[in-house]
Amino acid sequence: MTATLNESVHGGATRQAGGLPRLLPPAPEDLRGHVARYGQTPYRGQTGLLIGDIEASGLTGRGGAAFPVYRKLAIVARARGRKVIVANGAESEPASRKDELLLRVAPHLVLDGLQLTAEAVGATEAHLYLHTAPSPEILRALAERSARSVDMLQVTVTQAPPRFLAGQESALVNHLGGGPALPTFAPPRVTERGLGGAPTLVQNVETLAHIALIARYGPRWFRAAGTSAEPGSMLTTVYQPQGHCQVVETEIGAPLRTLLPSGGETQAWLVGGYHGNWLPLPHATSLTLDNAALRQYGAAVGAGVLVALPSDRCGLTEVARVTGYLAAESAGQCGPCLNGLPRIAAGLAELAGRGHRKQVRADVERWAGLVTGRGACSHPDGTVRFVRSALTVFAPEISLHARGQCSATNRRPFLPLPDGIPTSEDDWT
């Protein structure tokens, strides 16, 4: 499928309740346009001051983990000496496109957030970590800010290797330190001992953009959208069954059926990307896009990847293909993940074929149980979440395949994967 980013979807949209869209201007904005819209960067003039506003806003991390942002900030703010802040735009989840779009249309919002958060925690060094070479928009934004002396800290831009785990916090710190982008075992967390041993704050670029707005308009404004437990808006990458994808800013807690179609052309929903959950239709149509609602189904919003899988594809084939990718993306550092994921992937490939052996499904379930909770990072757990929910949602398809049949009428791959999956160890650097 071709994924196209349709920017007009935000710009042309009429303002919704809560003043959406908040993050995405109608067209890429230069520094002049940015300042005209939002005003100057509202520095507080003192470390720590902004953290109270962020706590009151209830902002959670938009990179997938939904961790309360102020807590990480408070830990780093308490430390003394050299401190590092990193804006994480690695977006290594292949189906997610929201950080890429945000960095292109609103680079100054992200960079404002980076500077304001750096001030709040007393950071002495700032980085921007990207999954591709920096776009012309980002380079221009950095040059404009430098020329106008907007920034308190100079920003170093680094490109991540094209690996699924390259955006994981400890992998990112390893890569910035000159090593391979491989996760490490916590504790210590990077907030305690990160880049070069310094306390390091890693925040997703969308999280920083929200901070730039909270610093201007306050927590009460921020809470005008979203739910009381999970306030604000979030960027989602939405795949329609016809094959196109759009980045949509939506309120947290919005009904999923307003974002994804559930009619005859759609057979199931995927929420939370390739570490996320398959949800069955029509049962999922009553759900809302927030962790409190999704938790009952073992699901989470993650980084906001939402997929409507078309009815003409084979769900098992799609899941087997993505699981093969996830297995290849294991860092290979932890025995259970290194051994379990390829076996799980092979089991799914067999299920996606015709006339699989009877015990394969039980094997996959057992291996899934064996890898859960036993990795240094959450890759095995996330992969298992994706696989287990697929075994439930696509159970009728498994029965069909056992009898040598398949419901698909269209064999073209649907879920996006990067071209040319890297397999050599050099690809981590």
Applying CB under 8 A, the residues found at the interface with other proteins are: 63-67, 88, 167-169, 172, 184-185, 202, 204, 272-273, 275-276, 295, 298-303, 333-337, 339-340, 370, 372-379, 381-382, 384-385
The structure tokens 């057992």 sit at 366
Looking at the Cβ atoms of 273 and 310, the one nearer to other proteins is: 273
Pairwise CA distance, residues 98 & 109, whole Å = 14
Detail the DSSP E strand segments found in 272-316.
Answer: 277-280, 305-310
Question: Would you say 122 or 194 has its CB closer to other proteins?
Answer: 194
Count of H helices and E strands in the chain?
15, 9
Beta carbons within 8 Å of 348's beta carbon, 6+ residues apart: 316, 319, 320, 323, 324, 364, 387, 390
User: Least CB distance from residue 331 to other proteins, whole Å?
Assistant: 9
Shortest Å, Cβ 73 to other proteins: 16
- Identify which of 289, 305, 376, 303 has the alpha carbon closest to the alpha carbon of residue 67: 303
Cα dihedral 131, 137, 143, 146 sign: negative
Q: Are strands 125-130 and 277-280 parallel, antiparallel or unpaired?
A: unpaired
Nearer to other proteins by Cβ, of 254 and 387: the residue is 387
Nearer to other proteins, 142 or 256 (CB): 256
The one-letter amino acid code at 307 reads V
Amino acid (one-letter) located at 295: R
Name which of 232 and 340 has its Cβ closer to other proteins. 340
CA distances from 1 to 4, 93, 244, 345, 411 (A): 9, 16, 7, 22, 11
* Preceding omega of 28 cis (within 30 degrees of 0): no
Task: Give me the helix-helix angle, 335-352 and 315-328, nearest 10°.
Answer: 160
Which of 266/383 has CB closer to other proteins?
Answer: 383
Q: Tell me how far, at minimum, the Cβ of 234 lies from other proteins, in Å.
A: 12
Nearest distance in Å: CB 66, other proteins? 7
Q: Which amino acid is at 224?
A: A
We find the least distance from the C-beta atom of residue 146 to other proteins, in angstroms, to be 29
Minimum CB separation of residue 366 from other proteins in Å reads 9
**Of 141 and 166, CB closest to other proteins:** 166
Would you state the structure tokens that stand for residue 184, as one six-digit string?
């490490």
Smallest distance from other proteins to CB 381, Å: 5
Of the pair 220, 374, the CB lying nearest other proteins is at 374
| Beta-sheet pairing, 266-271 with 245-251 | unpaired
Q: Are 212 and 117 in contact (CB under 8 A)?
A: no
User: Could you tell me the smallest distance in angstroms from the CB atom of residue 284 to other proteins?
Assistant: 16
